[in-house]
Structure 1
Amino acid sequence: MKILTTAMCLVLATSLTACSSYSSRQDSLPRSHVSSRVAAEQYGRVTDIEVVSRKSRTSGGGAALGAVIGGVLGHQIGSGNGRDLATGAGVVGGAIAGNRIEKQRASGDEIYRITVAFEDGSREYFDYEHIEDLRVGDRVKLRGGQLERL
């Protein structure tokens, strides 16, 4: 019976983790270039800087950890079929609670969305975590996918 319960906890935790759509690479970059522009070097002017909240996405780690902890705690309750039911409820409840906690910890992240009008008339935007002293009206150069202040 304990083997069945443990296996059920592992399967649920694994399946919850597998459902995650989080891409840690995208959020871990210090700067995210949204443009599809590939040209070697282009010049433009900053037309807008806005602060944008990142969506509170979760990695699934909080849900997985919550499911394991909830399953272990639920397994301590009752006996027989009641224990199995409590373990399952603990897994589900722990996963929900873990996901909410992870989402709350990730909220509040803000990025700067920089809009640039290029000399060819096109407009592109770029997302940065830090913009230092960049201001609207500054002249910039796009080279090799990097935006530089002139």
Structure 2
Amino acid sequence: MKLLIATAALAAALSSTMARAEDGPAPVLSIPTQAQRDALCRDCLWVQEIHAETREGKGSGLGVVGGAVIGGLLGHQVGGGAGKKLATIGGAAAGGYAGNEVEKNAKKSTVWIAQVVDRSGQMRRVEMGSDPMLTAGDTVRERDGMLIRI
């Protein structure tokens, strides 16, 4: 029973430390004037805002299975009779949950999202897998899914 409580406490601690925090300060917004939009070349874009986001990973089931096996084995070491069965089941459940959370945390990723404005004033978002090293107000061109400063 003690192990069951300890396993449940560990699972709760893991899930609370993995809660997603906000990804930094609020983004700076740069709104181009009509004259600034008119000055853009035909293929150019104005970076209105850019920020990074952390995306939670997806569990494949391996974390659940691995955690359940380990939790079940640990739970089986506790108690006797009906208590042993309950501890095994509880350990497997808590271990499966903790294993899934650990796997999702290990697979998280960061993406950079830029909101851009074209010459006509049309806005759209561009998502990139690496830091483009841009700031709001930059003039860029899009090539192969990346924004290149002009």
What range describes the TM-score normalised by the shorter chain of this pair? 0.5 to 0.7
Which residue number in structure 1 is paired with residue 139 of structure 2? Answer: 139
Mark the structure with the bigger radius of gyration: 2
Which residue number in structure 2 is paired with residue 98 of structure 1? Answer: 99
What are the ranges of 5 or more consecutive residues in structure 1 without an aligned counterpart?
Answer: 1-40
Figure out how many residues of one structure are paired with residues of the other and give that number.
Answer: 107
Deviation by residue 1:92-138 (Cα, 9 ceiling, x = unmatched): 0111222344455567x543221110123211112234324322222
Asked if residue 148 in structure 1 is aligned to residue 147 in structure 2, the reply is: yes
CA-CA distance at 1:69 after TM superposition: 0.4
Alignment of 1:7-46 (within 5 A): 42-46=43-47
Q: Residues 140 and 147 of structure 1 are in contact (CA less than 8 Å); yes or no, is this contact kept in structure 2?
A: no
Identity of aligned residues (%): 33
Give the 3-state SS of the residue equivalent to 1:120 in structure 2.
coil
Which residue number in structure 2 is paired with residue 4 of structure 1? Answer: none
TM-score relative to the length of structure 2: 0.54
The ranges of structure 1 where at least 4 consecutive aligned residues each deviate by more than 6 angstroms after the TM superposition are none
TM-score relative to the length of structure 1: 0.54
Which residue number in structure 2 is paired with residue 126 of structure 1? Answer: 126
Alpha carbons of structure 1 residues 128 and 146: separation in structure 2 relative to 1, 3 Å? closer
Q: Residues 74 and 86 of structure 1 are in contact (CA less than 8 Å); yes or no, is this contact kept in structure 2?
A: yes
| RMSD (CA atoms) | 3.0
